[in-house]
């Protein structure tokens, strides 16, 4: 690719945020769904996970009646159980782990399923107990337990010892995310803490900085939906309500790979961040006015499909360094709320599409 440095022209567009969509596309459609009604769980859905072959959903509100359900990988109902737990979470390592865990209301204990519908105490969390309503999950690598309460992430080692907290900077400022029960759920994927409120998914890095937000099209926004927020089979899940439809959203940016995010303020100086690139390979920053499809017509990456369209142009070429890094640039007002994508010159790999703030 020819090295060029080009500043995108200027025009005023209102409604920009401090970070735009960041690591995400502006919105995602559901990938799959299934009907949860055959389980006939009691009261409120409290999460979902996957054990490599089956989905498990749980309910809270009290400990009696059907509080756990099993669905096969196609979402077909298998069975319901009465484990005697007022659940606030069900989870597994990476949302795919064979062992299923849970947490009950106001409990310091992590329980583990030993046979379908039967749970025993696995360990007790100490030195910093989650809110009574908080779910508990593993981090992305399965090396910590994580809980969330109103913008504070609590962390524990696998032995249950406190590892301190992380404050989510600016939490509560958007989407009514500080409202209950929106403010007590978290899942982890792709190295991020993820929170959900009123159809909006936010990603936070390890330091508690919001690095992206996106809309989950059609996701539930009621009381039960916010309790149901979960991760399983490489998808974010939200239920429409109790014993209704579960909707799964596969978001490639949470599954690793070649990732782009944008921070800063537009118009003004923005920072293009990347990771997962091929070390030492040249990459181009490509601009487009909209998301869509453009085929590179010539050059070393002829035939490569881009995820941007309309006014597509190469605005800069940079090195990938060790595979992650950042570069600053000036964005004029015509660039605000438009889109960037990275493409590698040798492999022709492309990153996700990110929106300029």
Residue 91: name the closest of 145, 149, 15, 167 by CA: 145
Q: Which of residues 190, 217, 250 is at a domain's end?
A: 250
Q: Which two tokens stand for residue 53?
A: 């072959």
The total domain count for the chain is 2
Does 206 lie in the same domain as 277? no
In a domain, 40, yes or no: yes
Of 196, 217, 250, which residue is a domain's last? Answer: 250
C-alpha distances in Å from residue 308, one per residue of 274, 317, 341: 17, 17, 7
Task: Write out the chain's pLDDT in tens, 357 residues.
Answer: 322 222 333 222 222 233 336 888 888 899 999 999 999 999 999 999 999 999 999 999 999 999 999 999 999 999 999 999 999 999 999 998 999 999 999 999 999 999 999 999 999 999 878 899 999 999 988 999 999 999 999 999 999 999 999 999 999 999 999 999 999 999 999 889 999 999 999 999 999 999 999 999 999 999 999 999 999 999 999 999 999 999 999 887 888 778 787 777 889 998 888 878 888 889 999 999 988 889 999 888 899 989 889 999 998 888 877 787 888 888 999 999 888 999 998 889 888 777 787
Domain, as residue range, for 309:
259-355
Residue 166, both tokens = 């992380």
CA distances from 36 to 41, 45, 69, 197 (A): 9, 10, 9, 21
Residue partners of 127: CB distance under 8 A and separation at least 6: 156, 161, 162
- Measured CA to CA in angstroms, residue 93 lies from 37, 83, 175 at distances of 26, 21, 29
Distance between CA atoms of 198 and 60, rounded to whole angstroms? 21
**What CATH number should be reported for the domain holding residue 143?**
2.120.10.30
Q: What is the CATH number of the domain that holds 273?
A: 2.60.40
Q: Are residues 193 and 313 in the same domain?
A: no
Are both 63 and 209 inside the same structural domain? yes
pTM for the structure as a whole: 0.72
265 and 164, same structural domain? no
Rg (CA), the chain: 22
Where is the domain boundary, 250, 279, 300? 250
């Amino acid at each position: 690719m020819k090295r060029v440095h080009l500043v995108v022209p200027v025009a005023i567009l209102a409604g920009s945020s401090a970070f735009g969509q960041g690591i995400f596309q502006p919105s995602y459609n559901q990938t799959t769904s299934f009907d949860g009604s055959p389980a006939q769980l009691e009261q409120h859905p409290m999460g979902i996970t996957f054990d490599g072959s089956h989905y498990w959903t749980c309910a809270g509100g009290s400990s009696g009646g059907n509080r756990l359900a099993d669905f096969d990988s196609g979402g077909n109902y298998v069975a319901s159980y009465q484990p005697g737990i007022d659940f606030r979470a069900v989870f597994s390592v990476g949302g795919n782990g064979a062992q299923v865990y849970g947490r009950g209301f106001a409990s310091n204990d992590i329980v583990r399923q030993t046979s379908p519908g039967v749970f025993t105490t696995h360990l007790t969390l100490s030195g910093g107990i989650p809110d009574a309503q908080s779910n508990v999950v593993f981090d992305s690598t399965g090396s910590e337990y994580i809980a969330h309460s109103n913008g504070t992430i609590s962390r524990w080692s696998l032995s249950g010892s406190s590892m301190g907290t992380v404050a989510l900077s600016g939490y509560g400022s958007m989407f009514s995310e500080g409202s209950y029960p929106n403010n007590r759920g978290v899942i982890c994927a792709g190295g991020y803490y993820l929170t959900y409120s009123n159809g909006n998914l936010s990603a936070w890095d390890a330091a508690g900085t919001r690095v992206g937000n996106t809309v989950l099209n059609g996701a539930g926004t009621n009381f039960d939906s916010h309790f149901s927020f979960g991760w399983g089979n490489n998808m974010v899940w939200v239920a429409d309500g109790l014993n209704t439809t579960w909707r799964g959203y596969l978001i490639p940016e949470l599954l690793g790979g070649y990732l782009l995010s944008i921070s800063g303020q537009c118009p003004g100086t923005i920072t293009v961040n990347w990771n997962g690139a091929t070390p030492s390979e040249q990459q181009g920053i490509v601009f487009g006015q909209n998301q869509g499809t453009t085929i590179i017509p010539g050059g070393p990456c002829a035939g490569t499909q881009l995820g941007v369209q309309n006014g597509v142009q190469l605005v800069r070429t940079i090195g990938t360094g060790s595979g992650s890094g950042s570069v600053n640039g000036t964005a004029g007002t015509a660039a605000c709320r438009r889109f960037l994508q990275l493409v590698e010159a040798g492999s022709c790999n492309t990153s996700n599409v990110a929106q300029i703030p």
